[in-house]
Amino acid sequence: MITGKARVAGVIGWPVGHSRSPRLHGFWLARHGIDGAYVPLAVAPEALERALAALPALGLAGVNVTVPHKEHALARMDALTERARRIGAVNTILCQSDGRLLGDNTDGFGFLENLRQRRPDWRAGHGPAVVLGAGGAARAVCASLLEAGCPALTLVNRDQGRARALAEALAAWSPVPITLATWDEAPRVLGGAALLVNTTSLGMVGQPPLDLDLRGLAPSALVTDIVYAPLETPLLARARALGLATVDGLGMLLHQGRPGFEAWFGVAPEVDDALRAAVLAEP
C-alpha cells in the first residue's frame, strides 16, 4: 500500500516489458515496508529527451536506464559520476533537490559485488582477465576490473575495430596493458588468465551457444557470465565440468540496483537467496 507521500522511481527502456528491475525493486520495497513505488516507463527513443527533462518536474526520485537508452542518456545529464564518464553510459539517474540530473553507472559495481559475494576470496588483482565481447556491458566490466586492480586485460571480440575502440577508451585513464584477440586465438590466451568473463549475448536463451575450448585455463581460474537466462549458460556448464569455479550473472543485475535503491528510498538493500528466487520467478 502506498500513500500520497510515496517516493517514486522507475526504469526507462524501449521496450521495457522484459525488465526485471520492477520485480527487483518491488521486492526490496515490500521487504522494508517502504512507502514507495518503482514502475516500468516505456519511453521510445524519440521521446527520451522529453522524458528525462520531465523527471524532476514530476517529482520522481530517479530512474534506471536500460536498452537502448544508456549511451544517449549520458549526454542529457547535468552531472556525471566518474564511473559513468569512464563507462560512457548511464544506468542510474538521481533527481537532485535542485532539479538537476546526476547520471551514474552501477553496472561495473554490480559485476564486482556479485563476484565478491559469491567468491569472497576473489580479488581483481589476482591476475590477468580475459573479457569476451566489446559492447556496452564489456565497457562496464572492463572499467570496473581496471579500477579494482586487475593487472592485465585481453579483449576477445568478433568486431576487432570495436575492441580497439574500447581498448583505447580504457587506455585514456588506465595504464594497465590491454591486448586484443580474435575468437580463433581465444583458447590460447586463456592460459594466463585468473578470470574469464563473457559479456556477449552468446549463450543467452534464443542466441547461439558460446563455444570456446576452456582446457587452457588454469585450475585456479574463475569463470563468470553476465548472461543469466539460463542461469547456467553453456560456458558455465563447460567450466564446471572442468572443475573450475563459476559465478552466474544474476547477481550482477541484483547488485547494480543497490546504489539507486539506497539513493531513492533511503535504505541500503541486501542481495540474498530470497531475492534471487523472487526475481527469477515466472512469469
Catalytic residue among 70, 139, 238, 258: 70
**Cβ-proximal residues to 149 (8 Å cutoff; 6+ apart), any chain:** 123, 124, 125
Q: Give the shortest CB-132-to-ligand ATR separation in angstroms.
A: 8
Single out the residue of 135, 192, 216, 230 in contact with ligand ATR (rule: CB under 6 A). 135
Single out the residue of 87, 134, 153, 247 in contact with ligand ATR (rule: CB under 6 A). 134
Q: Is 209 in the site for ligand ATR (CB under 6 A)?
A: no
Only one of the segments 58-66, 131-139, 239-247, 251-259 lies at the binding site for ligand ATR (rule: CB under 6 A); that segment is: 131-139
Q: What residue is closest to ligand ATR based on CB?
A: 135
For residue 263 the three cell numbers come to: 539513493
Single out the residue of 71, 119, 201, 229 in contact with ligand ATR (rule: CB under 6 A). 201
Alpha-carbon distance values, 194 to 52, 96, 177, 185, 217 (Å): 41, 40, 15, 17, 8
Q: What is the number of alpha carbons within 13 Å of residue 68 lying toward its C-beta?
A: 6
**Contact yes or no for 223/236 (Cβ under 8 A):** yes
Q: CA 172: distance to chain centroid?
A: 21
Three-class DSSP labels, 76-133 = CCCEECHHHHHHCCCCEEEECCCCCEEEECCHHHHHHHHHHHHCCCCCHHHCCEEEEC
* Catalytic residue flag (residue 5): no
Q: Is 208 in the site for ligand ATR (CB under 6 A)?
A: yes
Binding mask 158-187 for ligand ATR (x = CB under 6 A): xx--x-------------------------
Give the interface size with ligand ATR as a residue count (CB under 6 A).
15
Q: Which amino acid is at 155?
A: L
Active site residues: 70
Give the binding site for ligand ATR (CB under 6 A): 133-138, 157-159, 162, 199-202, 208
